[in-house]
Structure 1
């Protein structure tokens, strides 16, 4: 079961989690993990996975509407609030191939999380453990042991982002 499940999830990424029901006719509230509205509004077939119960479902999406803080999703075969109630807590996965290709200087968070960050001289600063969205630019949270370093993702500091090698080369900063 575990190897089958890891095979199912291998080429997929979680784009949100079902947090509640909406109305009486089987709609659910999807809390998004992405700010890519096109990904959320164009859902067709998704994998639903509940890690606690180790259950998964392949589901076809009938309709998606934008709500205030969530997206309202209607799945085929989910026709009542009782049916929808059973989906609370499930994460929603899409195939990586369904994501729009990022522009040259853009990236998805999953491509950066876990990357090693090194200075120009090759010294390792650690691995990316989190990303803070500030509005102006993203800031990488890099950890090595107990030391945590914040690195703005701007051209002034980032020399190279190598997604294949999973390595980010940065200039030495005064606070490092």
Structure 2
């Protein structure tokens, strides 16, 4: 077991937010490679849950909870200093670990804004009450985000895309796990 890493299980509400890159310096710090540009949760969380990388360059092979002493911006990247890891060798042993945070570590979203992770799995219906499918993924296309829906057509899995903009999305009800859209099945 790596010093500084506490054995644990992944929380049910865990969300993958990035991975650990190379060691940074000689005092146990490492670079963080976030999955997106919204990094507030990485800075707010005092503990990160780590799992091994699924593929690619990796060193880390355990599962555990890492307590953070400090997370900060350095140049154009993010670096972190964990508690209990005091040298470069310890930081190098974490390389490739996937970073998960509890959903409770995320800052509250603003009115009309949603975390993508909260939208995945929601049922999408149109104004006429017709099922459009279930949100499987979201795509960032530059000017807008697009909902990627999964539904069944003639007994086979099919995909539908709907722009996630106010012109087409009437209401998002996270409590009811539903999205109401102005969209037709033949679009």
TM-score, scaled relative to structure 1: 0.81
Quick one: structure 1 residues 67 and 130, their matched pair in 2 at CA, closer, same or farther if it must change by over 3 Å? farther
**Structure 1 stretches of 4+ moved >4 Å:** 51-54, 67-70
Which protein is richer in helix relative to its size? 1
Quick one: structure 1 residues 70 and 117, their matched pair in 2 at CA, closer, same or farther if it must change by over 3 Å? farther
In structure 2, the partner of 1:61 is 68
Q: Which moved more, 1:160-169 or 1:44-53?
A: 44-53
Alignment of 1:74-113 (within 5 A): 74-113=81-120
Structure 2 SS opposite 1:97: helix
Q: Quick one: distance in 2 between partners of 1:168 and 1:93? A: 27
Q: Quick one: distance in 2 between partners of 1:117 and 1:91? A: 31
Quick one: structure 1 residues 115 and 54, their matched pair in 2 at CA, closer, same or farther if it must change by over 3 Å? farther
Alignment of 1:24-63 (within 5 A): 24-50=26-52, 55-63=62-70
Q: Deviations over 1:65-95 (max 9, x none)?
A: 2256642111112222221122122222223
Q: Quick one: distance in 2 between partners of 1:54 and 1:163? A: 35
Is 1:147 paired with 2:154? no
Q: Quick one: distance in 2 between partners of 1:49 and 1:28? A: 16
Contact (CA 8 Å) 2:132, 2:185: kept in 1 or not? no
Structure 2 SS opposite 1:60: strand
Unaligned stretches of 5+ in structure 2? 1-7, 55-59
Q: Which moved more, 1:15-24 or 1:62-71?
A: 62-71
Structure 1 SS opposite 2:118: helix
Unaligned stretches of 5+ in structure 1? none
TM-score, scaled relative to structure 2: 0.77
Contact (CA 8 Å) 1:26, 1:84: kept in 2 or not? yes
Alignment of 1:118-157 (within 5 A): 118-145=125-152, 146-157=157-168
- CA displacement at 1:23 relative to structure 2: 3.0
Q: Deviations over 1:12-70 (max 9, x none)?
A: 32222113322333222222134333222333222223376873222221222225664
